[in-house]
Amino acid sequence: MQLVEMREALRQAIDEEMVRDSKVFILGEEVAEYNGAYKITKGLLAKWGPERVIDTPIAENGFAGLAIGAAQAGLRPIVEFMSWNFSFVAADQLISNACKTYYMSGGRYSVPIVFRGPNGAAAQVSCQHSHCVEAIYGNLPGFYIIAPSNAYDAKGLLKAAIRSNNPVIFLENELDYGDKMEIPQEEYLVPIGKGRIDREGKDITLISYSRMLKFCRQAADVMMERGISVEIIDLRTIKPLDLPLIISSIQKTHRALLVEEGHSFSGISAEIAFQIQESCFDDLDAPLLRVCQKETPMPYSKVLEKATLPNLERILAKLEELL
């Protein structure tokens, strides 16, 4: 085993796939000479050279389109967005080309491409750098959407994403990059579309993904001190959704709380909640509840930012309401 930060786990995934397949390359702002804005690509330019580690201008629409064309022609690009908020500049490329080409070409052109980078809020980067994009891109058939919560899953899922023949939205979080975890030194993959039980429990199911898992674990610890056993599901992949895992847990606990960093209206938790009530309504002994970011653009103020985002106190209050 090796103790690594999440950023190193992601770097290893990219490097190993570049070794395995000469068609894999990465491009984006500052990925080469600067070693990546978050040092995910540290050392890759020196190892692979400027043909496979490509610095781009500040022109997301341009380099996203270039990469999509390269994928259609048989290469396997990895596009790093310095922030997923900047992907909105390239929205036409992602929405009109990346996720629709396979369908519109009658299956003649696949788009094996990974779009990756930090999603959601960091620390006081205000509303133009803090948006969660999974609900927006989740509305578009054709994308896989992945959001790991730890280094092990990040490496295994990124390797699986690079090998996929589908366009993948790979969502990280800037505040998770420094989190350390032991992961295997040997190669491994984590299957796309499979969630996992982060913690076994019998009284309430807590469903979340990405950075919000930290707050869910804290809440479960507090509830355990009160004699309440909370089961935590880490979705890992948002689309395709591992609905059987969720149903199995709710059939055991009969109560569910959903936590997401994004907004509540038309959010991921809204979709999952509907699928739960559609699939196992009779198993519920209490209404489904959720904790989301409040319906406001992200404030810059540290105090208001904390009040806007899901936190331990808000999760505990909803868990108590469920009981």
3-state secondary structure of 38: coil
Alpha-carbon gap, residue 302 to 262, rounded angstroms: 18
Side by side, which strands form the sheet with 237-239? 53-55, 24-28, 76-80, 114-118, 168-172, 144-146, 237-239
Active-site residue, from 8, 29, 129, 231? 129
State the SS3 of 292-311: EECCCCCCCCHHHHHHHCCC
For residue 28, what are its two tokens? 């984006």
| Cα atoms in the Cβ-side hemisphere of radius 13 Å centred on 232 | 22
Angle (CA) 250 252 254, round 5°? 50
Catalytic residue among 8, 17, 60, 172: 60
Nearest Cα residue to 68 out of 33, 38, 124, 112: 112
* Residue 60 designated active-site: yes
CA atoms of 62 and 154, how far apart (whole Å): 27
Q: How far apart are CA 40 and CA 223, in angstroms?
A: 36
Residue 235 and residue 300 in contact, taking contact as beta carbons nearer than 8 Å: no
Helices (DSSP H) in the chain: which residue ranges?
Answer: 6-20, 44-48, 60-72, 91-92, 101-104, 134-138, 151-163, 212-225, 243-253, 268-280, 302-308, 312-322
**DSSP-derived secondary structure for 92-104:** HIIIIIITTHHHH
φ, ψ at 251 (rounded to 5°): -65, -20
The residues annotated with a catalytic role in the active site are 60, 129
